[in-house]
Amino acid sequence: MSKKYFGTDGIRGRVGEAPITPDFMLRLGWAAGMAFKQQGKCKILVGKDTRISGYMFESALQAGLSAAGADVALLGPMPTPGVAYLSRTFKAEAGIVISASHNPHYDNGIKFFSTSGKKLPDEIEQMIEELLDTPMQVAESEHLGKASRINDAAGRYIEFCKSSVPTSTNFSGLKIVIDCAHGATYRIAPSVFSELGVDVVTIGNQPDGININAGVGSTSMAALQKAVVEQGADMGIAFDGDGDRVQMVDHTGAILDGDDLLYIIATDLIERERLPAGTGVVGTLMTNFGLEMALGQLGVPFVRANVGDRYVMQEMEERGWVLGGEGSGHILCTQHHTTGDGIIAALQVLLAVRRRGNSLATERLAWNKLPQTLINVRFAGGCDPLEHPEVIAQVERVTTELAGRGRVLLRKSGTEPLVRVMVEGENKAEVLRHAQALAAVVEQACG
């Protein structure tokens, strides 16, 4: 059955517009409490990022969970991967994150984690949606849930992040600018790195409820690039609003995206013999073809999942692999955590840099990122460009011409009638020419 509210990463939308409203959150809390309550009472952890609407939705969820008879443990501002970790260690039935990740403050959303610290299976999401369509029945007073606050939640998560690198690790001598996006990592990330010996300079660490992701963070890298150069720092690290994405900057101000970080972590695991024999790396349909080629030269298998960390994780679990991610900075290191974690991914990169004695700039140039051109083409609603014979023929022609040294990808937007035409290859001018020709065929066939 198709889901009415849940998308690929929970429920998300604009605050005040259905379903991101207080009354819906009350009912969602109740439905979730009913779904997770197997026998008697259950415990649900609730964390949030720093956007102002989090206060409102935290209260509404708490009331709904209590009405269902579920106990609530409030974590306060906490990165999404921190909620996943604490849900597992506290043996809670579930963890809830109130966040819209890298979106502006006027958006918000809900993410769920299971007791194992992983995204909810589809059948549980379906159960919650079915309960949302039933009358809300409040538990008898003696069976209502209680609310408490976990005061040492941040400290527990900080120690967990530090445990992802060897106990002998000391990053003293490194000066790093950390951009917390005025989001959920604003206290935790600086503590993790400073406690490991890093000389930390922090920006994006003054949340006011409105400024989350505003001109800072992993989706707005200019502020970090400027700060790294001005501070004479060795590198910079940028998180998004809820801390599950990371991108980095070398000492020259050049950006390293998720593909760059995946390569650094993968090669370090190989050198330390921590990548099990026969296992590889999972990327997505959008992962740069150069990464696939570079890993192939090292004998490391590479497969592509659909875009979205949920699909990357599914592919990793099916294959028993331990490393995957997206260019956006969702990096999954499942030897350390059950979900994507920006802080832990950044620590693995620092570990590689320190162990090899290289600069981050040297690591960035260790593989050849191929030029890529992306063109969005609007099409008429009654036409499917991906099925049109002329488009198919043009894709086949370009694919043949780029065989072994590039690739073509056409993807339809999930929210509007757009086709994203993407071409990658060794020659920038050739890539642009092919992308423009493909876009013209799509426009002519279905425009």
Angle of helix 153-162 relative to helix 188-195, nearest 10 degrees? 40
Q: Is there a catalytic annotation at residue 101?
A: yes
Distance CA 279, CA 96 (A): 32
Distance CA 425, CA 391 (A): 19
416: confidence class by pLDDT, cuts 50, 70, 90? confident
Angle of helix 53-67 relative to helix 22-36, nearest 10 degrees? 40
Dihedral angle computed from the Cα positions of residues 193, 96, 330 and 347, in that order, rounded to the nearest 10 degrees:
20
* Contact in structure between 282 and 323 (CB atoms under 8 Å): yes
Whether the predicted pLDDT of 7 surpasses 90? no
Neighbours of 1 (CB within 10 A): 7
CA 32, 34, 38, 40 torsion-angle sign = positive
pLDDT per residue as tens digits for the range 234-292: 999 999 999 999 999 999 999 999 999 999 999 999 999 999 888 999 999 999 999 99
Distance CA 316, CA 310 (A): 10
Q: Which domains does the chain have, with CATH numbers?
A: 11-151 (3.40.120.10), 157-254 (3.40.120.10), 256-341+360-364 (3.40.120.10), 372-446 (3.30.310.50)
Burial (CB count <10 Å: 0-12, 13-18, 19+), residue 180: buried
Task: Supply the pLDDT for residue 182.
Answer: 98
Distance CA 379, CA 375 (A): 13
| pTM of the complete model | 0.94
Sheet containing strand 302-305, edge to edge, reads 302-305, 281-284, 323-325, 331-333
pLDDT per residue as tens digits for the range 70-128: 999 999 999 999 999 999 999 999 999 999 999 999 999 999 999 999 999 889 999 99
- The catalytic position among 87, 101, 218, 328 is 101
Task: Supply the pLDDT for residue 412.
Answer: 87
Task: Supply the pLDDT for residue 39.
Answer: 59
Residue 355 DSSP label: H
Distance CA 299, CA 313 (A): 22
